[in-house]
Amino acid sequence: MRNDKAPTMADIARKTGVSPMTVSRAFKSGSLINKDTRDAILKAAEDLGYVFDSTASNLRSQKTGFIAVTIPSINNANFADTVRGLSELLSAHGFQILLGYTNYDTEEEERLIEQFLRRKPQAIVVTGGKHTPRARKLLENANVPVIETWDVPAEPIGHFVGFSNADAVRSMVDHFVAAGYTRIAFIGGDASRDTRGSDRRLGFIAALSDHGLDASRLIDAGAPPISMREGANAMARLLAEYPDTEAVICVSDLSAFGALTECQRRGVPVPARIAIGGFGDYEIGGISVPALTTINAQARQIGERTGQLILDLIDDKPDLHHVTIEPQLIVRESSR
């Protein structure tokens, strides 16, 4: 069954009595070739068990069909949605995504970018706008489109598709203040690694200050990604340190749900005694009892817009694109 060597286009050419070039054409859609010839070639290929060799094609044509993508974590429904949006569009156009996880670490991101560039991707998508100097240099010299996502970078490397994490949280603060809450806390936002989380915390502080409110109720919950458990622990600390807190905004729905469960275990009513807000509109926030007020960051849309942008860029429309997404505040039972 297993031949000594896998058949090549040359084998098909011999068998069909045409040149290798014609075999090549038979496999490309939209190339000029007689229908009978093509059918004969495809049949011969099937008979021989031929498998097209992308590696050779990639080298000669200088097109790999790869799109490199780095995300902080594979185990996060938000980033997964972005990748899905990207993936569905791009794979329909024959592209293959090279996915890498930075683990919220820019050093790891640098390593990934270096590895990916060796594969000659036709575009590279990164999450966030903070990178090591070397990573930045690699991206700038890469000679392929670079798209930063999930952020509005202060100094974009190339294109970006994102939103302001600070402004998004501000909209939630406004909601809480309008609802009459004044003693508001924030859980999460460790600055050591996750810039999106710390941007949210900064947005929280700025917004409270603008309202003339005290912005010192900040509970650290450890390095990202923050688990539900860490959210619960943070809520326990919050209730101990600032017992008169009326509302709390968590860096994500996951930590928010963890915080909610801590209240449930202690018999603290939500929102009657304390209101809770999350971030990311994860499925759990919509179904928990009570359901969680949150912000939909349009993760999927980020992916779709990024994918469309890449298709445009590869299709040779080399304008610079700065796409700003509008996150949506979703008010649910946990804050009313």
Partner DNA sequence: CTACGGTGTGATAACGATAACGAGGCTAGG
Partner DNA sequence: CCTAGCCTCGTTATCGTTATCACACCGTAG
Rounded to a whole number of angstroms, the minimum distance from the CB of residue 215 to its own copies is 28
Partners of 330 in the β-ladder: 294
Dihedral of alpha carbons 248, 249, 252, 257, sign: positive
* Cα end-to-end span (Å), the chain: 68
Q: Does 10 bind DNA (CB under 7 A)?
A: yes
Tokens 């010192």: give the residue.
216
Dihedral of alpha carbons 97, 102, 106, 110, sign: negative
Q: Does 228 bind its own copies (CB under 8 A)?
A: yes
Q: In the structure encoding, which two tokens stand for residue 302, read together?
A: 């980020």
Binder of DNA out of 25, 130, 193, 300 (CB under 7 A): 25
6 vs 74, beta carbon nearer DNA:
6
6 vs 92, beta carbon nearer DNA:
6
Binder of DNA out of 14, 37, 179, 312 (CB under 7 A): 37
Rounded to a whole number of angstroms, the minimum distance from the CB of residue 174 to its own copies is 29
Instruction: List the interface residues with its own copies, window 265-304 (CB under 8 A).
Output: 265, 283-284, 286-289
Q: In the structure encoding, which two tokens stand for residue 147, read together?
A: 């798209």
CB atoms inside a 10 Å sphere around CB 149: 28
- Taking Cα atoms as reference points, which of 290, 302, 201, 312 lies closest to residue 252? 201
Binder of DNA out of 3, 14, 21, 212 (CB under 7 A): 21
Contact 314, 123 (CB under 8 A): yes
Q: Does 20 bind DNA (CB under 7 A)?
A: yes
Stretch that binds DNA, among 16-24, 108-116, 141-149, 291-299 (CB under 7 A): 16-24
Q: Give the one entry of DNA, its own copies, none that residue 281 binds, where binding means its C-beta sits below a cut-off of 5 to 8 angstroms depending on kind.
A: none
Contact 82, 76 (CB under 8 A): no
Q: Does 232 bind its own copies (CB under 8 A)?
A: yes
Rounded to a whole number of angstroms, the minimum distance from the CB of residue 1 to its own copies is 7
CA 203 – CA 205 distance, rounded (Å): 5
Binder of DNA out of 15, 22, 71, 250 (CB under 7 A): 22
Stretch that binds DNA, among 51-59, 142-150, 159-167, 274-282 (CB under 7 A): 51-59
Rounded to a whole number of angstroms, the minimum distance from the CB of residue 304 to DNA is 29
Rounded to a whole number of angstroms, the minimum distance from the CB of residue 324 to its own copies is 25
- Taking Cα atoms as reference points, which of 88, 62, 84 lies closest to residue 71? 84
Residue type, 186: F
Tokens 């999927």: give the residue.
300
Binder of its own copies out of 17, 21, 47, 74 (CB under 8 A): 74
Binding track over 246-265 against its own copies, x by CB under 8 A: --------x--xx--x--xx
Contact 133, 221 (CB under 8 A): no
Q: In the structure encoding, which two tokens stand for residue 194, read together?
A: 């996750």
The SS3 of residue 67 is strand
Binder of DNA out of 39, 46, 47, 56 (CB under 7 A): 56
- Taking Cα atoms as reference points, which of 245, 190, 235 lies closest to residue 213? 245
Contact 208, 172 (CB under 8 A): no
- Residues forming contacts to its own copies in the complex (CB under 8 A) are 1-2, 6, 49, 51-56, 58-59, 64, 74-75, 77, 80-81, 83-84, 87, 96-99, 101, 115, 117-120, 140-141, 143, 227-229, 232, 254, 257-258, 261, 264-265, 283-284, 286-289
- Residues forming contacts to DNA in the complex (CB under 7 A) are 5-6, 8-10, 17-25, 27-28, 32-35, 37-38, 52-53, 56-57, 59-62
